[in-house]
Amino acid sequence: MALLLLTGTPALAGETPGGFVYLRDVDAGIRQDMRYATADNFTGRRLPGYEAGECVLKRAVAQALARVQADLARQDLSLKVYDCYRPMRAVRAMARWSQDTAAPDTSRFHPGLDKRRLFALGYISGQSAHARGVAVDLTLVPKGAQPPAFDPNARYGSCAGPLAGRAPDDSLDMGTGYDCFSTKSATHAATIAAEQRANRRTLLDAMRKHGFANYRREWWHFSYSAADTRVAYDFPITAR
């Protein structure tokens, strides 16, 4: 398949851009739960460009995550990634979803908010460090945890509600689910419990130690600026 940079530069069919790697080739122990390759995300559909549930990143980013993982192993914890490189076609699909009145009901991801306002409120952006291969969405899971099954026909509760009512996830309780458009998702939100705050602090400290910066409105979102070339990509994520 063709590679398309935002500069319009093409690559040969089947070619992966230089500097990108599959995370499992760098550290197979980091768990992967690639939500945009499934219907378990705020659009309710698999996003374009996610042809396989694989985490792809710039090599330096993947190597930094491996160092984080090694530190967390001493606490019997593991990273679990939800999203890594994100093709620009998926970024554009998110924008279309925000105005699509016929899309599946996924209000559990934006409780009390009109999805048409999510861009204006800063929860979704037309530009993304994910498209540059230097951002990752992740959480912490107990080492050896088994992922629960997602039921696409179930009616799960608000992502900002109690843990028992949210969609299933083996993450430590961070106070909200992943991709929860709520003020409770802010990294230092004052409205979460002490244990949830401590879990976020463990993740934040581990990531910062190895050069990652957190986005203050999303406890799960981290960027690695040392590898950022400010070039966005649109190649699809294919099976390894």
Residues in contact with 209: Cβ distance below 8 Å, sequence separation at least 6, in sequence order: 68, 71
What amino acid occupies position 71?
Answer: D
List, edge to edge, every strand of the sheet that includes 77-83. 31-32, 77-83, 135-142, 221-223, 213-214
Residues 152/123, Cβ–Cβ less than 8 Å:
no
54 a catalytic residue = no
Contact present, 233 and 202 (Cβ < 8 Å)? no
Catalytic residue among 51, 54, 195, 218: 218
What are the angstrom distances between the C-alpha of 10 and each of 15, 170, 233?
10, 40, 10
User: Which active-site residues does the annotation give?
Assistant: 218
